[in-house]
Amino acid sequence: LRQYGAGAGLGEGICHNLIVERLARPGDLVVGTDSHTCTAGALGCLAFGVGSTDMAAGFVTADFRVRVPESVRVELVGRLRPFVTAKDVWLTLLARDDVRQGVLVGRVLEFSGNGIAALPLDERATLANMAVEAGALTAILPVDDALLETLARQRGERAVEIRARALAPDEDATYAARIEIALDAIEPMVALPSDPKNAIPVSRLASAGHGAVAIDIAYGGSCTGSKSADMDLYAAVLEPAVRHGVRVAPRVAFYIQFGSDRVRRHAEERGYIELFRAAGAELLEPACGACIGAGPGTSTRPDQVTVSAANRNYPGRSGPGRVYLASPAVVAASALAGTLAAPDALPFAEEFR
């Protein structure tokens, strides 16, 4: 039994990130005292959160009693466009009328479709992570060749062993509902305060009457926005900015927080540390951070506006200010613009095409 905790004053990372990086394996049952335990569904695990009393009882009895839930099949078709992410997929889902009316509540989301193959494990983790924002018990993704290659590269896992552990739905499985999402139709999204379901495309902010939304804080962190693939997105937006002499807008505080020590090493090896600092971002060590109102990136006044890569923007969660949710790409672009913006709105956007 290994106890994970702070060492030399610093933690190794957010528990959800560490479970996906190091611990969970396809076919596992993963139970934790946090709703975002469902993140491990990215590995083909049945993963869900419970209360502390249930966990204590589980330690004593080795038994967790759960009523078998219904399932909803979510088929992802096609391929995401550049700078459109799994976070945008979820904000698109959350804005649907049927999701707002509760079609996913208490159910298990089974993600499927040809659109999953191109998604790296970190993006799959975001898909699993945000299931609870729709009231679902959890989400589970398939174990495919791309995942097997990732586990072999990162952990030295043997494909034959993982395949033997993997679970898949029966061919005649029945579902409470089916949802199909065309990935190439999704665009960069933003969730307005104070509910992740208040999501609209960034391109429609002005026409929806919100105008140019000036921001004070841009927060790139939390279990949803602090993974290695998220660092790649921050870097992809900031690198051309630095080359063009563009930095974080003067009135904006931009924080990038690593989700684990492995993510920090990923950033160091690729030169992102120097890039982020050159762009004007402040770097934070691994922790849940402003997502839970702890540390830099948390607002301190009601008039402050934050754009956050986290998964929740309920009133008071990240300070007294207003919080908009967006993908890492939109968070980085907004930090540069000083207003809510997608990367294609930046003055050097032609380099993204």
Question: Where are the chain's structural domains?
Answer: 15-185, 189-352
CA distance 294 to 32: 21
pLDDT tens digit at each of 353 positions of the chain: 566 655 544 578 999 999 999 999 999 999 999 999 999 999 999 999 999 999 999 999 988 888 999 999 999 999 999 999 999 999 999 999 999 999 999 999 999 999 999 999 999 999 999 999 999 999 999 999 999 999 999 999 999 999 999 989 999 999 999 999 999 999 999 999 999 999 999 999 999 999 999 999 999 999 999 999 999 999 999 999 999 999 999 999 999 999 999 999 999 999 999 999 999 999 999 989 999 998 999 999 999 999 999 999 999 999 999 999 999 999 999 999 999 999 999 999 888 76
The residue type at 321: G
Same CATH topology for 15-185 and 189-352: the answer is: yes
Q: What class, spelled out in words, does domain 189-352 have in CATH?
A: alpha beta
Closest CA to 129 of 96, 94, 87, 99: 87
- The one-letter code for the residue type at 210 is H
Q: What is the pTM of this model?
A: 0.95
Let me know if 266 is exposed, middle or buried by CB neighbors in 10 A (0-12, 13-18, 19+): middle
* CATH of the domain spanning 15-185, picked from 3.90.1150.10, 3.30.499.10, 3.30.70.1710, 3.40.50.10320: 3.30.499.10
